[in-house]
Amino acid sequence: MIKHNTIGKGAYRKSHAHVFVRRARSGCVSLLTLALSACMGGPAIDLTPDYQPEKFILPDSWRGSGPFAKANPSEGELRPDWWKLYDDPVLNELEKQAMEANPDLHAAAERFIQARAIMMKVRSRLIPQLGVGFGASNNKQSEERLFRGLGEPDRETTLEFGGLAGWEPDFWSRIRNRTRMKIYRAEQRAAEYILARLSLQAEVATNYYTLRSLDGQTAILSQSVDYYKNLLGVVEDRFNGAISPKIDVTRTQFLLFSTEARLLEIQAQRQVIEHAIAVLVNRSASSFKVAPLDEFPMAKFELPVEIPSTLLERRPDIAAMERKMAQANRTIGIARAAFYPHISFRAGSGFEGGTGLFDMAKSFWTYGLEVTLPIFQGGHRRARLQQAWSVYRETVDDYRSTVLNAFREVENGLSRTNLISAQVEKLITSVEAALETQNLTVNLYQGGLATSLDLLFAQINTLDARIEVVRGKAELMKSSVELVRALGGGWNREQLPTDEQIQPFGVLQYNDLGKPQPVGGIDAPTSNDGRYSQQYDDLTQSIEGIAIPTGSNGENQDLIIHPPGEMSVPKMAVPPEEMETDQHNKGNND
């Protein structure tokens, strides 16, 4: 029984010892955290002027009209994935791939990560700096050294071990203002990332509709080339039959060859635009292809109504400029702090000697206080302060200019979408009139009441009218994309990272330092150990819905995708075959 009690007491003591160690360790960490917090949040005087973003008097409504609709409260904002309003699966896939793999967007994300790390570097100066050092040396003197006494040792071994601590109490908030500047700088980088992402989305959509415009023009020109080839055969038959003069043949040849030249020009432009899209989606231009469409894909949708005052909260470029203005305000406080004393503490201790280093007799220590205050510098500090005020006023001017430009872009988008929409309707009507004119001219030509020149002009006008309709549709779609971009693309200022989220890691954190946790939806494709991610190194990878499938004979086949919502345009009328038949019947009657 006594032995049992003895073992129980030992186990009890051991258990309590572990509990004591854990509590002591936790207490030390808590005490250290409290000390660091006291150093960073100690008493200080902030010399920065009170900051409030400039408030401008804004209009109550937009002057222009566009594709707006009264929206329910739940639909009062533009969708972040706004390109899905166009209901085009190919465009959706291109936008998705660009958001995932575009290298410029990844670089913008890295700049935001770097800004967060720079903030941490500046903020670290608020915390006492600690360090240790160790040194050892073995020295031998020459026996012929001057003034060396007889019997003195010619060798000496020295060991040094010590620690050093330094801290700068930030009484005038010089370091704090620099830290806040870097926080605002990181937030500016975040807004610039959002702006780069929005610009990328708009560029992909704009290039896509330019590509589809060239597709439509290619289809029209190809149809016209086939039509003119058949027409040339008819005219040559008439010439061989001594019905038409030679000039009719040469005029038709001119029409055919010039149209073929236009077709080659459009095909070259299409390849250039296709290559541009390939770069945006991180694909090699030589291994990327978007299958053509014969019809231009039109989309009809309505945007939620937004009042002008909300534009300041939805434009990332305005948010970036406002954060730059906040940084400039902090430089005034830093310039003012230069007129006050600069105070710093230094302390160090250790051991120095030969054998038996940790003998208290061989210990040393030092501590001190340093206070500096420039008395006269020839106006250097006053010039810095005056410059800081001027820089702040300059950023206010730039901020006002950014706001004005934002309103200009919105009004431009409203005007263009409204007027170009009406223009397209007129162009479609003009195509119908041109086709009817062409048909009448063909009939007159067959009856000998119109010349080949009249027929040439009618056909050229019809071709140009059909081309203008496709171009008008493309401009309408691209103007709607620009309007969405001008409205902020569904972004809101509340999505910007907060001041607290900018800190990339904890003061006592020493693991998972490869990259910080993403905030504000901004992340870079990096592995956890910080190495470059190679997941986007394959520049020939196919994209779902975009790749060109291979046929049974091993050759590439075009993948034709017809998105919904197409707007039809009248096709060419009166095929040359009918003209040839009519002429044949006329010859029999003769």
Please spell the DSSP secondary structure of 111-146, one letter per residue: HHHHHHHHHHHHHGGGSPEEEEEEEEEEEE--TT-T
Q: Tell me phi and psi for residue 317, to 5 degrees.
A: -70, -35
Contacts of 78 (CB under 8 A, 6+ apart): 303, 304, 306, 314, 484, 487, 488, 489, 490
Which pair of structure tokens corresponds to residue 389?
């005020």
In angstroms, how far is CA 385 from the centroid of its own chain?
35
Domains and CATH numbers, the chain: 46-62+73-130+180-342+383-495 (1.20.1600.10)
- From CA 415, how far away is CA 64, in angstroms rounded? 6
What are the tens digits of pLDDT across the range 40-59? Answer: 566 789 999 999 988 888 88
Burial class (CB in 10 A: 0-12, 13-18, 19+), 584: exposed
**Backbone φ and ψ of 466, nearest 5°:** -65, -40
Q: What percent of the chain has pLDDT over 70?
A: 80
**For residue 588, what pLDDT is reported?**
43
Q: What is the dihedral of CA 449, 455, 457, 461, to 10 degrees?
A: 120
Using alpha carbons, list the distances in angstroms from residue 274 to 214, 292, 472: 10, 11, 20
C-beta of residue 95 within 8 angstroms of C-beta of residue 83 = yes
Residue from 454, 444, 440 nearest 252 by CA: 454
Whether 120 has a pLDDT exceeding 90, the answer reads yes
**Counting beta carbons within 10 angstroms of the beta carbon of residue 132, is it exposed (0 to 12), middle (13 to 18) or buried (19 or more)?**
exposed
- β-partners of residue 241 are none
Q: Are 184 and 362 in contact (CB under 8 A)?
A: no
Q: What are the phi and psi torsion angles at 112 (to 5°)?
A: -65, -40
What was the pLDDT predicted at 4?
Answer: 43
d(CA 98, CA 283): 10
Report pLDDT digits (tens) over 480-496: 999 999 999 999 999 99
* Torsions phi, psi for 460 (to 5 deg): -65, -45
Q: Are 411 and 64 in contact (CB under 8 A)?
A: yes
pLDDT band at 425 (very low <50, low <70, confident <90, very high): very high
Asked if the model's pLDDT at residue 396 lies above 60, the reply is yes
Q: Is the pLDDT of residue 191 over 70?
A: yes
Q: Which amino acid is at 552?
A: S
Residue 95 has pLDDT above 60, yes or no: yes
Indicate the pLDDT class of residue 146, thresholds 50, 70 and 90: low
What is the structure's pLDDT at 391?
97
Report which of 533, 516, 527 is spatially closest to residue 112, judged by C-alpha positions. 516
Q: CA neighbours within 13 Å on the CB side: how many for 203?
A: 19
Residue 269 confidence class, pLDDT cut points 50, 70, 90: very high
Confidence of residue 305 (pLDDT cuts 50, 70, 90): low
Indicate whether 479 pLDDT > 70.
yes
Residues 6+ apart with CB under 8 A from 562: 293, 295, 297
Summarised one tens digit per residue, pLDDT across range 404-424 is 999 999 999 999 998 999 999
- Burial, 510: exposed, middle or buried (Cβ in 10 Å; 0-12, 13-18, 19+)? exposed
CB 305 within 8 A of CB 71: yes
Eight-class DSSP state of 313: G
Buried b / exposed e over 564-576, threshold 16 CB at 10 Å, is: eeebebeebebeb
Per-residue pLDDT averaged across 27-34, rounded? 50
Residue located via tokens 């080949």? 452
pLDDT above 50: residue 24: no
pLDDT of 34 over the 90 cut:
no
pLDDT surpassing 70 at residue 37: no
Q: Distance (Å, rounded) from C-alpha 529 to C-alpha 519?
A: 18
Q: What is the mean pLDDT of the chain?
A: 82
| Spatial CB neighbours of 36, under 8 Å, sequence gap ≥ 6 | 127, 507
pLDDT band (50, 70, 90) for residue 535:
confident
* φ/ψ of residue 468, rounded to 5: -65, -35
